[in-house]
Structure 1
Amino acid sequence: MSDIIQLLPDHVANQIAAGEVVQRPASVVKELLENAIDAGATTIKLIIKDAGKTLIQVIDDGKGMSTTDARLSFERHATSKIRTADDLFQLHTKGFRGEALASIAAIAHVELKTKQEQDDVGNTIVIEGSNVVSQEVVVTPKGTSIAVKNLFFNIPARRNFLKSNTVELRHIIDEFHRVALAHPNLSFAMYNNGSETFNLPISNYRQRIVNIFGTKTNEKLVPVDEDTEVLKISGFVGKPEYAKKTRGEQYFFVNDRFIKSAYLNHAIASAFDGLLKNGTHPSYFLNLKVDPQTIDINIHPTKTEIKFDDEHTLYALLRSAVKHSLGQFNIAPVLDFERDSNLDTPYSYNNTQTSTPTIEVDRSFNPFQEEKQRGKQTTAFKPTPNNWDSLYVGLESKGTKTQQDFSEVHFESEESTGSLFSEDKQIDNIQTTYQLHNKYIVSTIKSGMLVIDQHRAHQRILYEDFLKNMTIKEAVSQQLLFPLQLHFSVQDIEIINQLKEDLEHTGFIFSSVNKESVEIIGVPVSVPESEVSIILEQLISDVEHEVPDTHFSATDLLAKSMAKSLAIKTGQSLQKDEQEHLVNRLFACKEPNVSPTNRTTFVTMSVDELDKKFI
């Protein structure tokens, strides 16, 4: 039998490795930004076109590379960060696996320009799908510029799996935020399709957060600072009243590296226990400094997951540090056993001798004597009117009239106290719907019983209403007495601008849209003013994560998001007429069987099925 195992060619191996390292354009952005930081850059520029599908370019002013290093950097397992296996537990840099550039070059057109400070000229290398096209001498400033063009050009299947430009750009911005927040001591700039999106100068940590998420963020932050032998914690948490329904503004950095940790996130959530509304999540921007020997970074290709030696201690320290900060800044109620100065003796009475208060008693006072006198007066008083006989004048004539009119008397209660089992009344008062656990509406049908999920049913009703309004563009709007001003981050404002026209067709009226805020003067009739900010936040979140998917239009996505936000919630009690109205509106819909997210809205149970339950 012939041998069947063979070594893979380098270009195939590189493409397989690229599947782990490069999942989308944001993965390339992360690797290139981290390389620029490791190169000692102080100013880093990120240039994006078509959400990274056409161009991703990172320009830095770092130390650059020599001719040999520039060529070797595109080989697999080539790195300047480690020499031995022991170095994996003493990592102070970002990229160390030595596969980033090799993986990127295997699935894109890459152009590298680099120059060291002591050299007169630099080098440029052009690679297409792991093949070196050219390597030449070039005049270029100090540092490195690497441009990645036509991502996944040789893997069309992977390119087809990419989401829309809006979603991919959001992932790129997320990666940009993670790197920029971890390094406020560096200057970052980002340009998208020729326009400047971010320009972040060197600053302290608080200023960096404000520069990214908007000036309104400053008043939401509570500082956290704790220094122990095991862990050093610094950063900020958001005030409970500003908690969001999404987990967007949650950042953990361990030794200046962004990580995801459900365990540590639970520590933050437990510190906020009792301070948050249901369904909301706190914001936090926390830096954790630990000994590199106590963590293992190399357990995931994207290096966003870390294994800690002693997670329980970190959990306890993190929870107590956040809880202490919330109490220290009067965000959370705390028990304070310190002396209250308000209870101290005033200075003017410090040396004054205390005296026993005297009580004066009237020993001759007899309360019973006064009561007896009042009692005698009461019994002695008998009113006797002089014209008492006038009280009975005309009594006989009134009685005669009453007897004559008895046959014509109509009692008011006679009509309402008819037969208790009257057929007509029984039909009028019969209840056709019942609410079960404030979640389901039970109704009778000819064949048996109908059980409706009130939340999903109302979603379907609102979804079709919004879709109709946006299609025919005849939505009714109600004017607000006072304009409503809402603050958002830069990228959220961009999404609102994209959806502004569709939002106006549903009934929203925008008076102005600025760089960090929007002003609304009109809302749809069915939308209460207090729900506007929640609706827009949910809508932005859905667009960012593309719910449902690229195959649906923005109008459809907007209608689904608004219906989800405004639908009757589970647990809400409904009156009898509200239940019947919901049932009637549901079955007037085009597709009453499913909610906008394709979930069942009602189930039926026939009499035969019920009978079988009692066999």
Structure 2
Amino acid sequence: MPAVKNEQQSLTFDAKQGNQSPAETPLTYQPEPLESIVYETSHTDAYGMPKQEKTEASSPVCYEEASSERVHLEESAASLEYEETVLHEEMTETIPENERVPVMYPIGQMHGTYILAQNERGLYIIDQHAAQERIKYEYYREKVGEIKQEVQEMLVPLTFHYSKNDMLIIEEHKDILAKVGVFLEPFGSGSYIVRSHPQWFPKGEEAELIEEIIEQVLDEKRVDIKKLREEAAIMMSCKGSIKANRHLRHDEIKALLDELRQTKDPFTCPHGRPIIIHHSTYEMEKMFKRVM
């Protein structure tokens, strides 16, 4: 009996499956070919009006996301450019003349050649000859470029002798030599005489300086006035500067450091050598292993 009951139930279920309504019958769908991505509908809306044509397009959300991402990248680039501009302005900000080299307080001298000074930033070692070279170079560079020069007559004129070939070169550059303070007058065969010189010529170095300027012209053969003025300023600054092994008083050291601070380039001499070596307080403490 239980077997018969199970069979009836099975038949009853099958019958129900066979008596499904047409609405429940699964529909089949065949997609249109891929090349036809645009379709039209002829259905009307609820008011009987024909619906507008529709085209298959990408989801607008994708465009919004791409647009949002592009705006974000543009804002990031603009922000980075602004930060770089601010950093560049901070790095290139003009530093006042009196702050490029801070006030240094003299401690003393080493071997009559190097000045030791200090302040809250640490220790400074200054080459006294190079420091005064820089000071005098900027002074002479300005003086040698003056159109009207104050001339000083010499009690005993200077005489210079040259070969015929050298005199031909000198004659070609006499006007340029006069613009840097070398006033040559012919004096017999193969000689020139100098009766005056600019007042700012280093005292006691006039003859040697004039000779070196003329030698500069002879070596270069063709010299422009700008280069000759530069060379003349360098030569004069070197000759008139403090030499090594010269001990200075405390007030002389202080005056030298104050004048150095007022120069346009207090860090190198006209030849390109360093003037100041600085050791910060931290570097000093690190050398003595007081800090890590």
Tell me the TM-score normalised to structure 2 length. 0.51
Q: Contact 2:125–2:277 at 8 Å: present in 1 too?
A: yes
- The match for 2:145 among 471, 487, 494 is 471
Higher helix share: 2
CA offset digits 1:380-417 (Å, max 9, x no partner): xxxxxxxxxxxxxxxxxxxxxxxxxxxxxxxxxxxxxx
Alignment-derived partner of residue 584 in structure 1: 258
Alignment-derived partner of residue 600 in structure 1: 274
In structure 2, distance between residues paired with 1:560 and 1:441: 22
In structure 2, distance between residues paired with 1:563 and 1:473: 20
CA offset digits 1:99-149 (Å, max 9, x no partner): xxxxxxxxxxxxxxxxxxxxxxxxxxxxxxxxxxxxxxxxxxxxxxxxxxx
Structure 1 unaligned runs (5+)? 1-430
Structure 2 unaligned runs (5+)? 1-104
TM-superposed deviation, 1:447: 0.4
In structure 1, distance between residues paired with 2:119 and 2:179: 38
- The match for 1:611 among 269, 285, 289 is 285
Are residues 597 and 492 of structure 1, via their aligned partners in 2, closer, same or farther at CA, if it must alter by over 3 Å?
farther
CA offset digits 1:36-88 (Å, max 9, x no partner): xxxxxxxxxxxxxxxxxxxxxxxxxxxxxxxxxxxxxxxxxxxxxxxxxxxxx
In structure 2, distance between residues paired with 1:498 and 1:459: 31
Secondary structure of the residue aligned to 2:247 is coil
- The match for 1:567 among 232, 241, 266 is 241
- Bigger RCO of structures 1 and 2 (CA < 8 A, at least 6 apart): 2
In structure 2, distance between residues paired with 1:442 and 1:608: 18
Read off the aligned partner of 2:253 and give its amino acid letter. Answer: Q
Are residues 576 and 538 of structure 1, via their aligned partners in 2, closer, same or farther at CA, if it must alter by over 3 Å?
farther
In structure 2, distance between residues paired with 1:440 and 1:492: 42
Residues 149-298 of structure 1 aligned to structure 2 (within 5 Å): none
Alignment-derived partner of residue 517 in structure 1: 191
Read off the aligned partner of 1:480 and give its amino acid letter. Answer: M
Q: Contact 1:511–1:519 at 8 Å: present in 2 too?
A: yes
Give aligned-pair identity as a percent.
Answer: 28
Secondary structure of the residue aligned to 1:450 is strand
- The match for 1:536 among 203, 210, 228 is 210
TM-superposed deviation, 1:530: 3.7
- The match for 2:229 among 540, 555, 562 is 555
TM-superposed deviation, 1:526: 4.6
Alignment-derived partner of residue 119 in structure 2: 445
In structure 2, distance between residues paired with 1:601 and 1:498: 38
In structure 2, distance between residues paired with 1:567 and 1:495: 31
Aligned length: 183
Cα RMSD over matched residues? 3.4
In structure 2, distance between residues paired with 1:498 and 1:566: 29
Secondary structure of the residue aligned to 1:595 is coil
Alignment-derived partner of residue 67 in structure 1: none
Tell me the TM-score normalised to structure 1 length. 0.26
Read off the aligned partner of 1:534 and give its amino acid letter. Answer: E
Secondary structure of the residue aligned to 1:534 is helix
Are residues 452 and 608 of structure 1, via their aligned partners in 2, closer, same or farther at CA, if it must alter by over 3 Å?
same
Larger Rg: 2
Are residues 441 and 522 of structure 1, via their aligned partners in 2, closer, same or farther at CA, if it must alter by over 3 Å?
farther
Residues 324-473 of structure 1 aligned to structure 2 (within 5 Å): 432=106, 434-473=108-147
Secondary structure of the residue aligned to 2:144 is helix
Are residues 536 and 507 of structure 1, via their aligned partners in 2, closer, same or farther at CA, if it must alter by over 3 Å?
closer
In structure 2, distance between residues paired with 1:539 and 1:527: 12
Read off the aligned partner of 1:579 and give its amino acid letter. Answer: I
Secondary structure of the residue aligned to 1:568 is coil
In structure 1, distance between residues paired with 2:176 and 2:251: 33
